[in-house]
Amino acid sequence: MNLGASELLLILGIALLIFGPSKLPGLGKSLGEAIRGFKKGLNDDETLAKARPLNENENKSSERVSTSQATAESSRQEQKTTDKSHS
């Protein structure tokens, strides 16, 4: 999908009508920051994946540890709630 000059001008004109000339620069800035952040997040994920790829056994054991930690934390929260309600 290639956009020519006339299509870009049409899109810019519609955006100008909808948002007005005062909000358009701020909108462009926030859109640019969002795209930059998205690209940075993708690059960070790729860097982490290349740095230490997990094999199948390590992946399963780490999932079990995180699940058991979450279960223990949930149990503690329930115990605190139960203790407060009986007081």
Q: Please tell me the predicted confidence (pLDDT) of residue 39.
A: 92
Q: Please tell me the predicted confidence (pLDDT) of residue 36.
A: 94
10: enclosing H helix or E strand: helix 5-19
Which has the higher per-residue pLDDT, 16 or 70? 16
Single pTM value for the model? 0.43
Instruction: Please give the Cα distance from 76 to 83 (Å, whole number).
Output: 11
Q: Please tell me the predicted confidence (pLDDT) of residue 69.
A: 63
User: What is each CA distance from 85 to 41, 51, 75, 82, in whole angstroms?
Assistant: 43, 48, 15, 5
Q: Please tell me the predicted confidence (pLDDT) of residue 24.
A: 86
